[in-house]
Amino acid sequence: MPVRLAHRSRGLRAAGLIVAALVVLLLALPGVAAAKDSSARKLGRGASNVALGVAALPREIYWTTRERGPFLGATWGFAKGVAWTAITEVVGVWEVVTCPFQMPRDWKPIIDPEFPWQGFTEAQHAARGRRKAAQKTLR
């Protein structure tokens, strides 16, 4: 019986260390997100996209509803939200794995909006539209 207790306490200790490490990482994310484009920002961006990528779902439903009405918001907005959630999660994993490397050049974000919590306000949504229009004229 004492052997089992020792085994359980080691497992609890390891679980506690893992939880503590995750808490430290999550507390560090806002500081990393505020930094200039760098490896640390890319890591923070990737971790936040993995953890919070599901925020793309309500964002796309909200904006599609505002721009095209409730029916398209509930259908097309939902479909766009599911697609953006998947894209955000995959890009997040990619950025975490490749954070030591400058891919793409100068540590720039792969998707826009850069972080899952961006794009909910009118100003952020308008800025995203202007960036899309500018990219189309460059092509």
**Domain assignments of the chain as residue spans, ordered by start:** 1-34, 36-138
Q: Which phi and psi (to 5°) does residue 120 adopt?
A: -90, -30
pLDDT, residue 9, reads: 72
pLDDT, residue 17, reads: 78
Asked whether residue 111 carries a pLDDT value surpassing 80, the answer given is yes
Percent of the chain with pLDDT over 90: 37
Distance CA 98, CA 9 (A): 36
Nearest to 39 by CA among 83, 88, 103: 103
Asked whether residue 1 carries a pLDDT value surpassing 70, the answer given is no
pLDDT, residue 15, reads: 77
Distance CA 54, CA 120 (A): 13
Distance CA 86, CA 82 (A): 6
Q: How many CB atoms lie within 10 A of CB 133?
A: 10
How high does pLDDT run on average in the chain? Answer: 82
